[in-house]
A and B are shown apart, each in its own frame.
Chain A
Amino acid sequence: MSRRKGPSRRQFLTSAAALGATATAAKAAGPDPLITETQDWAMGLGDGVDATPYGLPIEYESDVVRRNVEWLTADTISSINFTPIHALDGTITPQGCAFERHHSGAIEMRKQDYRLMINGLVDRPLIFSYEDLERFPRENHVYFCECAANTGMEWAGAQLNGAQFTHGMIHNMEYTGVPLRTILAEAGLDAAGDFKDKWVYVEGADASSNGRSIPMEKAMDDVLVAFKANGEALRKEHGYPVRLVVPGWEGNMWVKWLRRVEVMDGPVESREETSKYTDVLADGVARKWTWVMDAKSVVTSPSPQAPITHGPGPVVITGLAWTGHGKITRVDVSKDGGKTWETARLAREGEDKALTRFYLDTVWDGEDWLLQSRAMDETGYVQPTKAQLRDVRGENSIYHNNCIQTWHVKPNGEAENVEVS
């Protein structure tokens, strides 16, 4: 991909301010040469259909990319990067810029080398090839995958300046795969006896293995063994050729490069569910098995990376809402830091455990805004403020920060990540 050396956001803002609100086509002083002069693209020829067998976004969109934050982790192998949610719209995340989180890097495996083992309390321990998996009846579902640590850097205050960094450990894709229960049934579950207090332990083929314990009830409900996302094979960095999809639950459990599922009579209490993905409360006691991701939302535009550049007048406030408990039913937006709220418009009715797009079509008077969004889900749960969360948990939970986010939109159109009283 070519790396455009264009104007920085700061320079752009400066020039936008210099030009003022008159620098729009509608208010142009004279005839617009883009219209009155014949442009190259209206005379010559574009690319042939053989130019791009598999295309990338046009170079002018080169800022819509994953980004990492160096200081967050010791190296880039066991690390995280961030989806550019500030620049996206709708709900489906393009796979090429959907966030990554690895514990020992994105491994490369051919389908021919792929094996899935089912063992433990089953009637017949089985080995499946990739081809075997494609012969089971398939399902399609759209779900969000949110890292348990999304927004985790913000527990103690406003740190990172952009929705990509504060809320971008998330993607939302249409998965094709086989229900885990179908595959477990193939191995036979008479040996498991009563499912109550039974578990599955799932692990990946990579060096970290990322082993996690999942209660049997969830395993038999909506967990998918997925091999396609957004219509095509999983990307290498997202678990090619096979990953687990665990709807509504923390991203860590969405084991990539899935190699083994073991039916057990108890949890393994692996590293990823003891040392990590446990949430320390104010008194030093930690919650474990905090699987579900609670209702959450964020305004993606305007936001620090998506300032208002057009001056006062009509503006679209937009963002994303989601909940691991089911469907989003309502999103409220405040422009004054939570004093008053307006109910936004959902682009589509909320879908089960999937991202929901909301819009508030409104007018900006050029004054300061303290923009917030507040999600509600079908269980009646209302997204809390950070103060509400801290009252229950303190500041050291690391994970599961689903607080209401505030952006300070300034008279020059810039937005900043702030905390408010």
Chain B
Amino acid sequence: AATGMRFGLGREAMAEEIAAWDVDVRPDGTGLPEGSGNAWDGEALFEENCAVCHGSFAEGVDNWPALAGGFGTLADKDPVKTVGSYWPYVSTVWDYVHRSMPFGNAQSLSDDDVYAIVAYILYSNDLIEDDFELSRDTILDVEMPNAEGFIVDDRAETEYTIWRTEPCMENCKDSVEITMRATVLDVTPEEDGADD
């Protein structure tokens, strides 16, 4: 690879520094640390750290995300996209929980805690048994139902070829009818001072 001019700025990163910040986990498991946990351990941890927002069964509370369920709904009018029904990789669950959850107290879980909580989320989605010991060595054994559910952006073929065309300027349609109005829903916030 071509390299440009060097300015001699910055300093070499130390191994401890890289270890502290570089914690991303890849779909093939690269980046996962030692450790393990199962849904039995995870249930208690989930109740303590996660259930207030995500529900005791990972079903979601109020507007907070449901982490389980929704299987077979992706083509429905209102898809329910959860770890079980939508997420393609277990690695992402581990990485995201480890790095960014619980909301408001991120990076507070030990590696074993994360394995156990991820196991509980997978168990809540009926993807593993309750005694399945989740670890670096077993995580790729978990089959994610929607792993094949994604395609790489295909707009170039399915859209751009159709829509790169000289547009109509006159007599483009015979009639125009209003089919929907936002004021019927009336969900727009009022401006300050309005509606005294």
Residues of A within 8 A of B (CB): 3-11, 62-63, 67-71, 73-74, 77-78, 103-104, 117-120, 123-128, 132, 135-136, 157-162, 165, 181-182, 185-190, 192-195, 201, 203, 207-209, 211, 259-260, 262, 264, 266, 268-271, 274-275, 278, 280, 282-292, 294, 304-305, 332, 336-341, 370, 374, 376, 379-382, 384, 388, 392, 395-396, 408, 416-421
Between A104, A280, A388, the greatest number of chain B beta carbons within 10 A of the residue's beta carbon is seen for A280
Between A104, A182, A269, the greatest number of chain B beta carbons within 10 A of the residue's beta carbon is seen for A269
Chain A residues within 8 Å of B86, by CB: 275, 286
Chain A residues within 8 Å of B142, by CB: none
Least CB distance from B175 to A in Å reads 7
Counting contact residues on chain B (CB < 8 A from A), the size range is 35 or more
Query: What is the 8 Å Cβ interface bit string for chain B, positions 100-121, against chain A (1 contact, 0 not)?
Result: 1001101100000000000000
Between B182, B189, B191, the greatest number of chain A beta carbons within 10 A of the residue's beta carbon is seen for B182
Q: In the complex, are the beta carbons of A127 and B100 less than 8 A apart?
A: no
- In Å, the complex CA distance between A382 and B9 comes to 45
Chain A residues within 8 Å of B17, by CB: 117, 127
* Residues A416 and B79 in contact in the complex (CB < 8 Å), given A182-B4, A286-B150, A341-B169: no
Least CB distance from B139 to A in Å reads 14
Least CB distance from A420 to B in Å reads 5
- In Å, the complex CA distance between A208 and B97 comes to 10
- In Å, the complex CA distance between A158 and B22 comes to 43
Q: In the complex, are the beta carbons of A271 and B26 less than 8 A apart?
A: no
Q: In the complex, are the beta carbons of B176 and A211 less than 8 A apart?
A: no
Our pick among B21, B62, B167 for the contact of A374 (Cβ within 8 Å) is B167
Task: Across the A-B interface, give the 3 residue pairs with the lowest CB-CB distance, nearest first.
Answer: A284-B74, A8-B194, A337-B176
Query: What is the 8 Å Cβ interface bit string for chain B, positions 135-170, against chain A (1 contact, 0 not)?
Result: 000000000000001111111001110111101111
Q: With CB as the reference atom, state the residue of chain A lying closest to B63.
A: A74
- In Å, the complex CA distance between A280 and B5 comes to 43
B27 part of interface (Cβ distance < 8 Å): yes
- In Å, the complex CA distance between A416 and B172 comes to 23
B196 part of interface (Cβ distance < 8 Å): yes
Query: What is the 8 Å Cβ interface bit string for chain B, positions 76-96, against chain A (1 contact, 0 not)?
Result: 011101010011110110011
Chain B residues within 8 Å of A119, by CB: 13, 18, 22
Residues of B within 8 A of A (CB): 1-7, 9-13, 17-18, 21-22, 24-27, 53, 62-65, 74-75, 77-79, 81, 83, 86-89, 91-92, 95-96, 99-100, 103-104, 106-107, 149-155, 158-160, 162-165, 167-173, 175-183, 185, 187-196
Chain B residues within 8 Å of A280, by CB: 74, 79, 81
CB within 8 Å: A-B pair count: 276
Q: In the complex, are the beta carbons of A63 and B191 less than 8 A apart?
A: yes
Chain B residues within 8 Å of A188, by CB: 3, 6
Q: In the complex, are the beta carbons of B153 and A288 less than 8 A apart?
A: yes
* Residues A287 and B153 in contact in the complex (CB < 8 Å), given A8-B194, A382-B164: yes
* Residues A67 and B24 in contact in the complex (CB < 8 Å), given A126-B10, A280-B74, A418-B182: no
- In Å, the complex CA distance between A411 and B107 comes to 57
A-B contact pairs, 11 of them (CB 8 A): A9-B191, A69-B187, A117-B13, A161-B182, A189-B3, A190-B1, A266-B26, A294-B159, A384-B163, A388-B163, A421-B175
Chain A residues within 8 Å of B179, by CB: 418-421
Q: In the complex, are the beta carbons of A274 and B92 less than 8 A apart?
A: yes
Q: In the complex, are the beta carbons of B4 and A185 less than 8 A apart?
A: yes
Q: In the complex, are the beta carbons of B176 and A269 less than 8 A apart?
A: no
- In Å, the complex CA distance between A70 and B187 comes to 10
